[in-house]
Amino acid sequence: MRALITFVTDMQTTKVLKARKRIALIAHDHKKAELIEWAIYNKTVLSRHELYATGTTGLLIEQALDVSVRKLLSGPLGGDQQIGALVATGELDVIIFFWDPMEALPHDPDIKALLRLGVVWNIPMASNRASADFLLTSPLMHQEYEATLPDYSQYTKRKV
């Protein structure tokens, strides 16, 4: 049994997340004020990282923090999918997404797809202020981190 565990470990692929993380900041309309308040509170830490955001959220964060934010499309217009593409191509390290669990939105399938990709590619994610606080204050957030990437070779080599 021990040899099998070692073999599986040897087959794992890793990705190094640099000390300066690439962070996606996303918020539904009813959560934007909460995310902006959280971002202002954490301005010192966030300014050390590279920030990405969807639509209006990006503009609001840029204005509130006076830092550069790579702004993508609004979520319902494809911004959530753009963030998902950055996750899939290894161009994002962290997702902070304050989503509203009480409101169904027309782009719910896009949101589900984004959250799924975060799990698929082992991306640290926070969905509310408490989880964002824990994530941002983790010592791992401020140093290089070697993330284990899942091995999907069985899936990609399957017979269809």
Active site amino acids: 80
Q: How far apart are CA 40 and CA 107, in angstroms?
A: 27
Q: Which residue(s) pair with 126 in the sheet? A: 96
Q: How far apart are CA 157 and CA 160, in angstroms?
A: 9
Q: How far apart are CA 27 and CA 146, in angstroms?
A: 28
Specify whether the CB–CB gap between 78 and 103 falls below 8 A. no
Q: How far apart are CA 51 and CA 94, in angstroms?
A: 10
